[in-house]
Structure 1
Amino acid sequence: MNSPVRTDLPWQVQSSEDDSDYIDLKRIWRAIWSRKFSILSLVAIITLLASLVVMSMAPTYKGTSSIIIENKNSQVINFQPTYDSSGQISEYLQTQLGLIQSRGVAERVVRELNLTEHPDLDPRQQPAPLINFSGMLKWAQNLFSSDDEFSGDKPATEAEIFDQVVNALMLRTSAYVEGKGQLVYITVEMGDSLSAAAAANALAQNYIDSQLESQMEMSMSSSNWMNSRLTELRSELQTSEDRLQAYREAEGLVDVGGVSTISANELSLTGDRMIDAARQRAEAQSQYDQVRRMEGGGWERLASIPAVLGHPLIQQFKAEQARARAQVDEASRRYGDRHPAMVAARTELNAATASLKAQVEQVVAGIERNYQLAQANEQSLRASFNKNKDQIQDISRKEFKLRELQRDVDSNRQLYDTFMTRLRETAATADMNTTNARIVDKAIPPSKPSAPNKQLIIAVAFALSLIIGVIAALALDVLNNTFKSTDDIESKLNLPVLGILPLVSRKQAKQVQHLFEKGEDKRFCEAVRTIRTSITLADMNSPKQVIVVTSSVPGEGKSSVAANLAFAMGQLHKVLLIDADMRRPTIAKNFDFPAGTPGLANLMAGTAKADDCIRTVGNIDILPAGVVPPNPLELLASPRFAKFLEMAKGHYERIIIDSPPSQAVSDSVLLSTVADSVVFVVKSEATSIPLVQRSIGQLLQNNASITGVILNQVDIKKAAKYGKYVGYYDHHGYSEAKA
């Protein structure tokens, strides 16, 4: 029962990389075509609803006026030079678009056209919404407030109504520029064409008027400010000139610049020399400090000082010492210690070392002398600098003060002259206030509404509903992971299809186990004969006497298949039908056996004999399940059942066992071990493919001999939409019209 999982199951062989990249367009078309009426119904409903909504929408008219806004000219009063940059035109136009749609312009239009009484904008004339969220919110607030706070709905004041109308007009207003030009279009959407055109023209005119008024206000304000400021500047200029002259007279300065320049140059030169001397002294002191730190380490450590090591003579003597040492090393490899050449090389090395030592001592002494000279030079220059600094500081202070007073006079004079020039320009151009915007085309009442675009909305609704319907059909087809045709069984299970059984009508469903016996439905009877023939041909080499009929889950019609198959085989053989589904037996009920009729459970328990349990119905014998036992699996696994089965083989040519579903209990697995063949029943478009694969896998793991699969309850009308099965039934003369 607990066999290891097999990896060579039939459906596992069919996997292929090419199959995963294959798109079955035919299947997609069949999925759409099979649900064409549902898709068309959805399209019709959504399109109809969209049409009704569109027809109920009030038309909106759009009034459009156009104005040209040229680049901003130089202002009449401008304190900075203006630049005509093409890159600033776009920013300027964007600013003007904002001004056109500003609240100030909208308020002017509302007052001019008296829009507070217009039915489109007046909140008092608006229809009540279907769901008043604001009213519900107020009701909730009043519900949780005290009685003193509850005041009910107050009528809106004139200021509130005016504010709401202005906001509504701003929402209906738009201004835009087409391309990179300077032509601005102003549009207003209203419920009637006359109001839309009037509002658009009013917006354009009030924008121009507001620009003129703002320029005039700015010009007047600038002129007044300049007059007052010019008086202040004249007084400040006179005061600064008086201070300058008074300072010159008090200090007796006639040519302070010339005198102070000579002294400053001398002090500057002295300071530069002192800085150079300080730098030289610092460098000499640094070298001297290095020498002092290395004095205790001998002349060799002194030679490693950068100041000593960088001396050209030191480098020369070091090179001679290195060359002598190389000769010693060369001679040591060729001669002994007392060889004349070796002695000569050592003598030359000692001489080079002594010369280097003497030169190092001289360089060190020179570093000490340089430090002393640099220190003395720095002290001399510092004393000279301090002596001259006191003399020139007084002149420098006077020069600084004098220049400060002179700069104050120059700046006041320049500012006064600038204001005087601008004031004269303003007086000359006081009557030249113009705007750089003008109306090009006034809005005319439109003859057709701009919205809603009924044809477009209906077309979009039609297209979207069609797309949604197609997507839903494909999604349902993908989610319907069941067997819909024999091709699905052969491709997913890799097992032969013994046949298909059509879906019977509701009237026949109650007597489905008697359909072949009574022969009322010729199409159904022919399908059962086809299954009988397929089973007969499958066991030509090895006759399969015991046949187990099972399925994955209850409700797939395995009991009906077993009963009809038994009656079909009863025409050729002696057949015994056994109801082994002792948990949910159906055969006794379907064949109207009396309640308490003994059956397989009684036979296995030993409370009844075989002759008492087996009943003859038509041309077959039936062994019902009997009284439902508490341990059906133990009864089927008992030696008594195997002994009975061997005895039955001697009396019957075919034994058909109605087994419980394989996924519900393990009875079918046990029965498959004692059977010669297993017929697996799958309900069309009901049982999921993974569930069937798992069920068949369990049977195969227990070495069950599965003859094939029967696809049950196939809807022939629906299958005709897929182009399946119909050819078979028409060919044999059992189409629905002939049945």
Structure 2
Amino acid sequence: MQKQEPVDNERLTSQSDEDEIDLRVFWHIFIKHKWTIFLLTSLIGILTTIVVFSLQPIYRSTAVLLIESDKANVISIKEIYGIESFGKEYYQTQLEILKSWTLVEKVVKKLNLVSHPVYNQKKEESFLRNWLPSSWLSPEVPLTAEKKRDAIIASLRDQLTISAIRNSRLVTISCDSSDKQLAAKVPNTLADLYIESDLEAKLEMTNKAASWLTERVEGLRQNLSNSEKTLQEYMERKNLINVEGVKSVAKKQIEETASNLVNARQEYAQANSVYRQVKALRGKGSEAYESIPAVLNNGLVQSLKQAELDAERKVSELSERYGQRHPKIIAATSDLEKAKANTARQIQRVVEGLTKEYEVALANVKALERVLDDNKRKIKELNRKEYELKKLERDVAVNRQLYNMFLTRFKETDASQDVQSLQSTIGRLIDLALVSNWPYKPKKRMIVAISLLLGFIFSTMLAFSLEYLDNTIKDGEDVEQKLGLPMLGSLPKLKLSNTEEFEPLWKFLKEPKTAFAESVRTLRTGAILSCLESEEKIFVITSSVPGEGKTTFSTNQALALGQMEKTLLIDADMRRPSIGKAFGLTKAPGLAELVAGTRKLDECIHHLGEDQKVNLDVIPSGKVPPNPLELLSSPRFKTLLEKLSKEYAYIVIDTAPTMLVSDALVLAKVATKVLYVVKADATPHQVVLDNLKRLRRVDAPVDSIVLNQIQTQKTSKYYYYGKYGYYKNYYKSYYGGGHGYYNSDS
């Protein structure tokens, strides 16, 4: 039975937490950027307000027009031009006519808009003409009268709004203009011109229809006369009187001939079969023909064969009683020979008769086929004549029908052409457009409100985009998600005065009751517990780049460990040493001299004063060598660490950043644990990942991250820092107050 693997409840819980959408995350991101959002939204609102209140007010007036259906049926022009009664297509057509260029051009001409002040205002110069040299721009060309008129027509069409009222025949005609009087005149004028144009069009169509019908009727009459004349000439030329009668007689003859031909072919088939049998036995004697059924079935042949059989029977009977030379035998034999000769002659006659029957049947078939072919040719000729005749008759019928129809329509049109037929208009005004006292647009309040709403949405999206594009590490969850390592602990960002340069390095001792000091103790506990099983406890502290606070953490962590047991702090950052300066050991011999062998161990180890109540020794970097990496990778340095690890419970080594040099990679090989410091909200996680990969290639014992310089003032802006903010207040109340925060890396 296969053993079932235990379920990782912690992993399942973390996965379920990741799948859930925590709205508090979005809320805290919004709170973090609230001032940016509000300021950007206000700026957009102010700019929109300035622009909106600088716009010229536009007035709108609307006229209501009723479009009638084409009930008057003026001279039935709708049938000639294909216009149906009132329907969707007709209604939509009238709407497009109202918007047409020709009709708007008439409005411009009637209202003399070419000279109207609205369309003759001097346009403001463009931005380019205000700020660019005139030599860079093409000279302005004044518009011709025609182009100016076309521009006014196009502008007026854009200002017009023509729409249909649903489920009715009403149309609204609206005009937007900065002149309220003009906004009312245009819809009324457009409606009047629309009605007048329709009446003029109907009258013009009626006149055109009458003229066209007159010409068409005369042409159709001439066509009818020509077609009738052509028909008569054809009948006379072909001698056609009754094509149908002649065709019916010919069809009857063909039917009879075809029937006789079928019978003749049957007889020919039978005669041909017998003839083939006779032909196959020719030259083999008359007895061979006896196998042919037609020969045997002949009555005379059958009687002769019977006589021959009787003679043979008589000879056979006499042969039993007499000898061959007996007169009776001789007489009977002579009779038999005569009977056979008669049979043979008769068979020959029958065969000759069968041959003649075959020849007669063949000749009969050929004769009937010739007659049938002649009849078919006659029928085809009649069909061609009939087809041509019917074609001519159809032409006459069509021409006569068209002539009668157009003649009738011409008479109707001529009779209906009067003034009363034109009294039915295509539409009428229901409501005149009135002068509006209130601007139609811009709707300033609504535009400002919409701009504020859109500005707020844009600002919020921008804030979330910036938050999403932020690739730094902010909290423990970012450490686990982006780096794949747990967070050992975090340190708050210190805020100090500039009176003392190295104040952060002594923060743990000088202010032991702050949140910073408690965070150092928490990290101390985590570091110790993570290497309980190891005899040597060598902590190498590094970071990705300078300025992440690794030296501050190294010093304070060493001070915290020194409160428990004997601890040694080594400054291995020989390129930018700062621990010696913090402890007043600037010119004191240190690690460089010790590894190089120029000084003894006692000369390089410096004891912290007993008044500090910390059992901590310090080895500064010493005089900066030209080749720090060679010193740190030498066997002498490794031997030195082995010796020191026997004397000290804890050894803390501050080394250079991993991104710049390879010192940390060398020291990581001898470390019990590598404490990797990452500055919150500063270092991109891609940089940290690249340096962690470098450490893993040398099998460095780095399995957790120290997140430094967290800005606890932003705890209300990050959901993930909520607990930290709570504990910050807890520390203040527990220790009776706290201090500010500072960001430092010596």
Q: In 2 relative to 1, CA 641–75 (structure 1 residues): closer, same or farther, beyond 3 Å?
A: same
| 2:249 equivalent to 1:266 | yes
Give, in angstroms, the shift of residue 40 of structure 1. Answer: 1.6
Question: What SS does the aligned partner of 1:635 have?
Answer: helix
Question: What SS does the aligned partner of 2:656 have?
Answer: coil
Q: How does 1:10-409 map to 2 (within 5 A)?
A: 17-73=15-71, 74-78=73-77, 80=79, 89-122=87-120, 125-131=122-128, 152-234=139-221, 237=224, 256-257=240-241, 259-269=242-252, 377=365, 380-386=368-374, 389=377, 393=381, 397=385, 407-409=394-396
| 2:403 equivalent to 1:416 | yes
Whether the 8 Å CA contact 2:488–2:704 is kept in 1: the answer is yes
Give, in angstroms, the shift of residue 665 of structure 1. Answer: 4.3
Partner of 2:594: 603
For 2:16 and 2:67, how far apart are their aligned partners in 1?
Answer: 65
For 1:422 and 1:229, how far apart are their aligned partners in 2?
Answer: 11
Q: How does 1:645-656 map to 2 (within 5 A)?
A: 645-649=641-645, 652-656=648-652
Whether the 8 Å CA contact 1:120–1:126 is kept in 2: the answer is no
For 1:690 and 1:395, how far apart are their aligned partners in 2?
Answer: 97
| 2:475 equivalent to 1:475 | no
Whether the 8 Å CA contact 1:60–1:449 is kept in 2: the answer is yes
Q: In 2 relative to 1, CA 623–221 (structure 1 residues): closer, same or farther, beyond 3 Å?
A: same
Q: In 2 relative to 1, CA 425–490 (structure 1 residues): closer, same or farther, beyond 3 Å?
A: closer
Give, in angstroms, the shift of residue 478 of structure 1. Answer: 3.2
Q: Which amino acid in 1 is paired with 2:46?
A: L
Q: In 2 relative to 1, CA 197–268 (structure 1 residues): closer, same or farther, beyond 3 Å?
A: farther
Give, in angstroms, the shift of residue 160 of structure 1. Answer: 1.1
Give, in angstroms, the shift of residue 78 of structure 1. Answer: 4.0
Whether the 8 Å CA contact 1:263–1:392 is kept in 2: the answer is no
Q: In 2 relative to 1, CA 533–447 (structure 1 residues): closer, same or farther, beyond 3 Å?
A: same
Structure 2 stretches lacking a partner, 5+ long: 1-7, 269-356, 741-746
Q: In 2 relative to 1, CA 631–241 (structure 1 residues): closer, same or farther, beyond 3 Å?
A: same
TM norm structure 1: 0.72
After TM superposition, the structure 1 stretch with the greater mean CA deviation from structure 2, 671-680 or 380-389, is 380-389
Cα deviation per residue 1:558-584 (whole Å; 9 max; x = unaligned)?
Answer: 112112333444455554321112344
Give, in angstroms, the shift of residue 273 of structure 1. Answer: 7.7
Give, in angstroms, the shift of residue 165 of structure 1. Answer: 0.6
Whether the 8 Å CA contact 2:515–2:731 is kept in 1: the answer is no
Q: How does 1:537-686 map to 2 (within 5 A)?
A: 545-571=537-563, 573-588=565-580, 594=586, 598-615=589-606, 620-649=616-645, 652-686=648-682
Question: What SS does the aligned partner of 1:674 have?
Answer: coil
Question: What SS does the aligned partner of 2:473 have?
Answer: coil
Give, in angstroms, the shift of residue 638 of structure 1. Answer: 1.8
Give, in angstroms, the shift of residue 171 of structure 1. Answer: 1.8
Q: How does 1:437-476 map to 2 (within 5 A)?
A: 437-476=427-466
Q: How does 1:497-576 map to 2 (within 5 A)?
A: 497-505=488-496, 507=498, 510-516=501-507, 519=510, 522-532=514-524, 535=527, 545-571=537-563, 573-576=565-568
Cα deviation per residue 1:5-35 (whole Å; 9 max; x = unaligned)?
Answer: xxxxx9x968965345222222222222222
Q: Which amino acid in 2 is paired with 1:188?
A: C
Q: In 2 relative to 1, CA 212–373 (structure 1 residues): closer, same or farther, beyond 3 Å?
A: farther
After TM superposition, the structure 1 stretch with the greater mean CA deviation from structure 2, 406-415 or 215-224, is 406-415
For 2:548 and 2:103, how far apart are their aligned partners in 1?
Answer: 77
Give, in angstroms, the shift of residue 393 of structure 1. Answer: 4.5
After TM superposition, the structure 1 stretch with the greater mean CA deviation from structure 2, 423-432 or 611-620, is 611-620
Cα deviation per residue 1:108-131 (whole Å; 9 max; x = unaligned)?
Answer: 000011112334444x63333334
Question: What SS does the aligned partner of 1:711 have?
Answer: strand
For 2:526 and 2:165, how far apart are their aligned partners in 1?
Answer: 78
Q: How many pairs does the alignment contain? A: 630
Q: Which amino acid in 1 is paired with 2:126?
A: P
Q: In 2 relative to 1, CA 243–671 (structure 1 residues): closer, same or farther, beyond 3 Å?
A: closer
Give, in angstroms, the shift of residue 237 of structure 1. Answer: 4.8
For 1:635 and 1:46, how far apart are their aligned partners in 2?
Answer: 62
Q: In 2 relative to 1, CA 633–402 (structure 1 residues): closer, same or farther, beyond 3 Å?
A: closer
For 1:75 and 1:514, how far apart are their aligned partners in 2?
Answer: 106
Q: In 2 relative to 1, CA 63–493 (structure 1 residues): closer, same or farther, beyond 3 Å?
A: same
Q: Which amino acid in 2 is paired with 1:729?
A: K
After TM superposition, the structure 1 stretch with the greater mean CA deviation from structure 2, 77-86 or 464-473, is 77-86
Give, in angstroms, the shift of residue 615 of structure 1. Answer: 4.8
For 2:114 and 2:659, how far apart are their aligned partners in 1?
Answer: 76
Cα deviation per residue 1:380-401 (whole Å; 9 max; x = unaligned)?
Answer: 244344268569958974x677
Partner of 1:311: none
Q: Which amino acid in 2 is paired with 1:642?
A: K
For 2:566 and 2:683, how far apart are their aligned partners in 1?
Answer: 33
Question: What SS does the aligned partner of 1:661 have?
Answer: coil
Q: In 2 relative to 1, CA 283–650 (structure 1 residues): closer, same or farther, beyond 3 Å?
A: farther
Give, in angstroms, the shift of residue 622 of structure 1. Answer: 3.2
For 1:668 and 1:486, how far apart are their aligned partners in 2?
Answer: 24
Give, in angstroms, the shift of residue 647 of structure 1. Answer: 3.7
Question: What SS does the aligned partner of 2:717 have?
Answer: helix
Q: In 2 relative to 1, CA 372–223 (structure 1 residues): closer, same or farther, beyond 3 Å?
A: farther
Whether the 8 Å CA contact 2:99–2:162 is kept in 1: the answer is yes
Cα deviation per residue 1:133-176 (whole Å; 9 max; x = unaligned)?
Answer: 9x99997796xxxxxxxxx5432111111011111111222322
Q: How does 1:696-735 map to 2 (within 5 A)?
A: 709-722=705-718, 723-733=722-732
Question: What SS does the aligned partner of 1:675 have?
Answer: coil
Question: What SS does the aligned partner of 2:618 have?
Answer: strand
Q: Which amino acid in 2 is paired with 1:168?
A: S
Give the alignment's Cα RMSD to 1 decimal.
4.6
Give, in angstroms, the shift of residue 711 of structure 1. Answer: 2.2
Q: Which amino acid in 1 is paired with 2:110?
A: E
Question: What SS does the aligned partner of 2:474 have?
Answer: coil
Q: In 2 relative to 1, CA 270–179 (structure 1 residues): closer, same or farther, beyond 3 Å?
A: farther
Q: Which amino acid in 2 is paired with 1:62?
A: R
Q: Which amino acid in 2 is paired with 1:43?
A: T
Whether the 8 Å CA contact 2:164–2:170 is kept in 1: the answer is yes
After TM superposition, the structure 1 stretch with the greater mean CA deviation from structure 2, 423-432 or 525-534, is 525-534
Q: In 2 relative to 1, CA 513–624 (structure 1 residues): closer, same or farther, beyond 3 Å?
A: farther
Structure 1 stretches lacking a partner, 5+ long: 1-9, 143-151, 286-368
Whether the 8 Å CA contact 1:281–1:375 is kept in 2: the answer is no
Partner of 2:271: none
For 2:384 and 2:670, how far apart are their aligned partners in 1?
Answer: 126
Whether the 8 Å CA contact 1:493–1:693 is kept in 2: the answer is no
After TM superposition, the structure 1 stretch with the greater mean CA deviation from structure 2, 626-635 or 700-709, is 700-709
Whether the 8 Å CA contact 2:537–2:645 is kept in 1: the answer is yes
Q: Which amino acid in 1 is paired with 2:493?
A: P
Give, in angstroms, the shift of residue 262 of structure 1. Answer: 1.6
- Percent identical residues: 33
Cα deviation per residue 1:336-367 (whole Å; 9 max; x = unaligned)?
Answer: xxxxxxxxxxxxxxxxxxxxxxxxxxxxxxxx
For 1:113 and 1:457, how far apart are their aligned partners in 2?
Answer: 34
Question: What SS does the aligned partner of 1:181 have?
Answer: coil
